[in-house]
Amino acid sequence: MAKGSGMIHPNMATMIGVITTDCAISSGSLNKALRHAVNRSFNRISVDGDTSVCDMVVILANGRAGNTLITENDDHEYNRFTKALEMICIDLAKEIAADGEGATKLIEINVTGAPSDQDANKITRSICNSPLVKTAFFGEDANWGRILTAAGYSGAVFDPDKCSINIGSIPVFSSGIAVDFDEDHVKSILNMDEIKVNIDLSQGNGSDTMWTCDFSYDYIKINGSYRT
* Sign of the C-alpha dihedral computed for residues 191, 178, 46 and 223 taken in this order: negative
Could you tell me the smallest distance in angstroms from the CB atom of residue 221 to its own copies?
A: 8
Is residue 33 at the binding interface for its own copies, with CB under 8 A as the rule?
no
CB neighbours of residue 202 within 10 Å: 14
Count the residues of the shown chain that bind its own copies, applying the rule CB under 8 A.
35
Alpha carbon separation from 161 to 20, 37, 132, 158, 165 (Å, rounded): 47, 34, 22, 9, 11
Minimum CB separation of residue 164 from its own copies in Å reads 18
Strand partners, 15: 55
Is 14 considered catalytic here? yes
Binding to its own copies, residues 138-167 (CB under 8 A): 138-139, 141, 146, 149-150, 152-153
Name the residue nearer to its own copies (CB basis): 64 or 162.
Answer: 162
Task: Give yes or no for residue 56 binding its own copies (CB under 8 A).
Answer: no
Identify the sign of the CA torsion 189, 191, 194, 197: positive
Residues binding its own copies (CB under 8 A)? 6-7, 48-53, 129-132, 135-136, 138-139, 141, 146, 149-150, 152-153, 214-217, 219-221, 223-228
